Amino acid sequence: MAEVSGRWPVRQRKVVILVNQIKSLQGKFVYCNSRHVPRNDIKFAFKLAKDAILSQINRTAESSRTKDLNETCVICMEENDVSQIFSAKGCLHRYCFSCMKQHVEVKLREAQIPKCPHEGCKTELDIDSCENFLTPKLLELMRQHIKEAATPVTERVYCPNPRCSFLMSKTEVLEYSKKDQIDVDRLGARKCVKCNSLFCVDCRVPWHRNMSCSNYKRWHPNPSLEDAKLKVLASKNMWRQCRKCNLMIELAQGCNHMTCRCGYEFCYNCGAEWKNKKATCSCPLWAEANIWFDGNREFDEEEEEEDEGVEFYNSDLDD
């Protein structure tokens, strides 16, 4: 702030008003240093004042732009550069890459298709939008889960090669095998679309050349080592196998009425089929050890037929 000294062709009262205005302006600055300049240097004083005002304006604008380039993630509550913020397609909820990577990785490890982490949002994440923060290994795992979810259980075929185990649909592997001029109509031979190894689609084993499926099963009555391990584990944990699609099922909680992903309904206790929502056996509907009740929520009879507590295991997988 600069004061001008010299002769003033004004009255004393106006001078007092001017001084008071100057003091008032001084209080609005963070730092203010008064300087007295001669009349012939008045232009210099105006230049100083103008430069000071411009510097304050530029500093405010720069601070505003810097703030706009950052965004706070509502999960970790940390500020991140906008280039490190993920926006879900469809719902446009936004989270930082670090939180999204952890969220998606946990869902993939649980064999689930990851969705937007916003509470109540059901938007499924696609692979393209996750390429910025997922590793190539996690991206491949996500592709596999998406493909598995899109393929009906009864259509799923896994390569029996322990080093492959690639998921295919029956239609996909059939068309691929026809391209190699394999007599798929007469034989059960198929060719894996990934490792190109031949296998029997009926026996789910590597191709048994010059041997029919019935002869193979007669000469190999015992299951493979991997299948034997799975059956021992299933017996130990009291898992049940769906008679229609051979999926291994575990009852986590709820009634004995099971509905498999393929649609087959059966009794978890004895394996008897349910028809028209009615049991064909005399087993009890409930086992006390499997009942879970939330005292803060009224019981709904329709919920007893929901299968949220059912976990599935694929007996065709070698891993």
Contact predicate 106/140, CB 8 Å: no
Give residue 49's identity as a one-letter amino acid code: A
Among 204, 212, 207, smallest CA distance to 159 is for 204
Buried b (16+ CB within 10 A) or exposed e, 199-237: bbbebbbebbeeeeeeebeeeeeeeeeeeeebeeebeee
Question: In Å, what is the CA distance from 115 to each residue of 80, 93, 203, 238?
Answer: 22, 11, 36, 32
Question: In Å, what is the CA distance from 257 to each residue of 83, 112, 244, 312?
Answer: 50, 24, 16, 15
213 is catalytic: no
Buried b (16+ CB within 10 A) or exposed e, 38-65: eeeeeeebeeeeeeeeeeeeeeeeeeee
Q: Map tokens 């009879």 to a residue.
A: 301
Could you tell me the two tokens for 21?
């205005």
HSE, CB side, 13 Å, CA atoms: give it for residue 11.
Answer: 3
116, 242, 245, 255: the active-site residue: 255
Among 168, 82, 95, 167, smallest CA distance to 130 is for 95
Active-site residue numbers? 255
